[in-house]
Amino acid sequence: GENVEQHPSTLSVQEGDSAVIKCTYSDSASNYFPWYKQELGKGPQLIIDIRSNVGEKKDQRIAVTLNKTAKHFSLHITETQPEDSAVYFCAASYEGSGTYKYIFGTGTRLKVLA
């Protein structure tokens, strides 16, 4: 079936360093790739997304890249801060199906060490 693999499952970085989380999807029809951040005790929150017609998108310290050929997409966080510590989920979906179902990755726990 369709699935999304996410790596690594845990990631520790020093404050100020960069963090990269990678996902691979199986359904070649997928064309929408959101990233969610889940802080302790809260529901996941959308932080950035990308559609298959672009290769990269940036929002301040966060960027997402997409390689459609390899079916890979990645989240890049630069100049990490303690408040970036959270669990991050990637997801893939096919816009156009009408159902807006997402397939989520298994999550990455990011720890930013002060």
Nearer to other proteins, 14 or 100 (CB): 100
Q: Residue 44 is which amino acid?
A: P
Smallest separation, CB 15 to other proteins (Å): 26
Query: Is residue 27 close enough to count as binding other proteins by CB under 8 A?
Result: no
E strand or H helix at 4: strand 4-7
Q: Residue 66's closest CA among 97, 42, 37, 34?
A: 34
Binding range to other proteins, per CB under 8 A, among 13-21, 60-68, 70-78, 97-105: 97-105
Q: CA 23 to CA 1: how far, in whole Å?
A: 16
Compute how many other C-beta atoms are within 10 angstroms of the C-beta atom of residue 25. 24
Tell me which residue of 69, 83, 67, 84 sits closest to 19, measured CA to CA: 84
Q: CB nearer to other proteins: give 10 or 18.
A: 10
The CA distance from 72 to 6, in Å, is: 10
* Binding flags for other proteins, 39-78, as an x/- string (CB under 8 A): --xxxxxx--x-----------------------------
Closest to other proteins by CB, 41 or 60: 41
Interacting residues with other proteins (CB under 8 A): 1, 6, 9, 34, 36, 41-46, 49, 89, 95, 98-102, 104-107
